[in-house]
């Protein structure tokens, strides 16, 4: 048996739609795999009642198929589904790494990124790699047609998860098909600023670089109370706030001394809108870990 823990991730970071992602040091999924003649799936943990066990509908089924690695796969969910925290990607990445090990396929973590992305295609309709890349490689990742690169960094973050479900598939439907040149220049500038911030481990630059006028405004409308939460986080010292992945989680970057205050302000602001929420006080963390044989 092989067991892998893969972390939650936050994709886009505002200015890097479908490209940027970070691994979070918590929460995480744990996936156990054992060789079998055909793939069967068992799911326990947070939100497991909403996750199919049919291999054609669970992301790990697609990963097992890609690697030609049938197995009994047990998923212990720590990352709530439809959270904007890469729940499906945590399972995909963990299954890819575990099955690669179980069947001795010899693929590197970088080579496993497109394999795990096939799991994402099952749920969102597209094999976007911006969650599976950080879930496998850790740190801040840039996944583009030019390949996948990773930067080892350390930025304090708060991920605030409201009791609302937003499916990635639905949230992709509100993304505009076109953007005007001024908005593109604005986004590229901010994406570059954010990247420099990650390289320098500078929360001010990372926060400033999250601003985006193209995708985030449309996504924010799917989250009750988003503007209130954003303003509350900024007032409490956040250096930048954006929608985490496709939402509904809201991500804030901050200095370490402000993290507790920012987390409390975000939960209180959701509460004012009558939405229960919990905040993860987290930071950019490591990728998936094999921790037992």
Ligand X SMILES: N[C@@H](CCOP(=O)(O)O)C(=O)O
Beta bridge partners of 4: 31, 290
Q: Which two tokens stand for residue 251?
A: 């991500």
Q: Which two tokens stand for residue 128?
A: 């976007």
Q: Residue 40 or 167: which CB sits closer to ligand ADP? A: 167
In the complex, what is the shortest distance from the CB of residue 146 to ligand ADP, in angstroms, rounded to a whole number?
Answer: 24
Residue 58 interface partner, choices ligand X, ligand ADP, none, CB cut-off 5-8 Å depending on type: ligand ADP
Q: Residue 2 or 171: which CB sits closer to ligand X? A: 171
Q: Name the 3-class secondary structure at 265.
A: helix
Residue 60 interface partner, choices ligand ADP, ligand X, none, CB cut-off 5-8 Å depending on type: ligand ADP
Candidates 5, 128, 230, 259; binder of ligand X (CB under 6 A) is 128
Cα–Cα separations (whole angstroms), residue 178 to 46, 173, 181, 279: 37, 13, 10, 34
**245 is a contact residue toward ligand X (CB under 6 A):** yes
- What is d(CA 43, CA 221) in angstroms, rounded to the nearest whole number? 32
**124 is a contact residue toward ligand ADP (CB under 6 A):** yes
Candidates 2, 3, 4, 12; binder of ligand X (CB under 6 A) is 12
- What is d(CA 130, CA 16) in angstroms, rounded to the nearest whole number? 9
Based on the residue annotation, tell me whether 120 is a catalytic residue of this protein. Answer: yes
User: Which candidate in 120, 150, 193, 216 is catalytic?
Assistant: 120
In the complex, what is the shortest distance from the CB of residue 137 to ligand ADP, in angstroms, rounded to a whole number?
Answer: 18
Q: Pattern 219-238, binding to ligand ADP, x per CB under 6 A? A: --------------------
**10 is a contact residue toward ligand ADP (CB under 6 A):** no
The sign of the torsion formed by the CA atoms of 113, 119, 123, 124 equals positive
- What is d(CA 28, CA 24) in angstroms, rounded to the nearest whole number? 9
- What is d(CA 36, CA 73) in angstroms, rounded to the nearest whole number? 9
**202 is a contact residue toward ligand X (CB under 6 A):** no
Q: Which two tokens stand for residue 125?
A: 């309709």
Based on the residue annotation, tell me whether 168 is a catalytic residue of this protein. Answer: yes
Candidates 58, 193, 216, 242; binder of ligand ADP (CB under 6 A) is 58
Q: Residue 16 or 70: which CB sits closer to ligand X? A: 16
The single-letter DSSP state of residue 214 is S
* Residue 67 marked as a ligand binder: no
User: Which candidate in 9, 150, 153, 168 is catalytic?
Assistant: 168
Instruction: Give the closest residue to 189 by CA, choosing from 14, 11, 22, 10.
Output: 14
**245 is a contact residue toward ligand ADP (CB under 6 A):** yes
- By annotation, the residues acting in catalysis are 120, 168
């Amino acid at each position: 048996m092989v067991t892998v823990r893969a972390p939650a991730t936050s994709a886009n970071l505002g200015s890097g739609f479908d490209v940027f992602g970070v691994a979070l040091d918590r929460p995480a999924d744990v996936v156990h795999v054992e060789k079998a003649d055909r793939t069967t799936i068992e799911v326990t943990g947070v939100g497991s009642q909403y996750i199919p066990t049919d291999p054609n509908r669970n992301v790990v089924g697609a990963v097992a198929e890609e690697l030609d690695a049938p197995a009994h796969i047990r998923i212990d969910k720590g990352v709530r589904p439809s959270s904007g925290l890469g729940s499906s990607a945590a399972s995909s990445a963990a299954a890819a790494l575990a099955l690669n090990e179980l069947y001795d396929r010899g693929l590197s973590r970088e080579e496993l990124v497109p394999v795990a992305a096939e799991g994402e295609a099952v749920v969102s309709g597209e094999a976007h790699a911006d969650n599976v890349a950080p879930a496998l490689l850790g740190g801040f990742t840039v996944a583009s047609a030019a390949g996948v690169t990773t930067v080892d960094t350390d930025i304090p973050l708060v991920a605030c998860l409201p009791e609302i479900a937003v499916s990635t598939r639905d949230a992709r439907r509100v993304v505009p098909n076109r953007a005007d040149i001024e908005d593109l220049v604005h986004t590229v500038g901010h994406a570059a600023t954010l990247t420099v911030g990650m390289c320098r481990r500078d929360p001010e630059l990372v926060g400033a670089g999250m601003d985006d006028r193209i995708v985030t405004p449309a996504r924010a409308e799917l989250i009750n109370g988003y503007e209130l939460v954003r303003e509350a986080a900024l007032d409490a010292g956040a250096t930048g706030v954006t929608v985490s992945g496709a939402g509904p989680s809201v991500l804030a970057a901050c200095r370490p001394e402000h993290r507790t205050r920012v987390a409390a302000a975000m939960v209180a602001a959701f509460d004012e809108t009558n939405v229960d929420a919990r905040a993860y006080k987290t930071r950019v963390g490591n990728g998936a870990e094999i921790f037992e044989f």
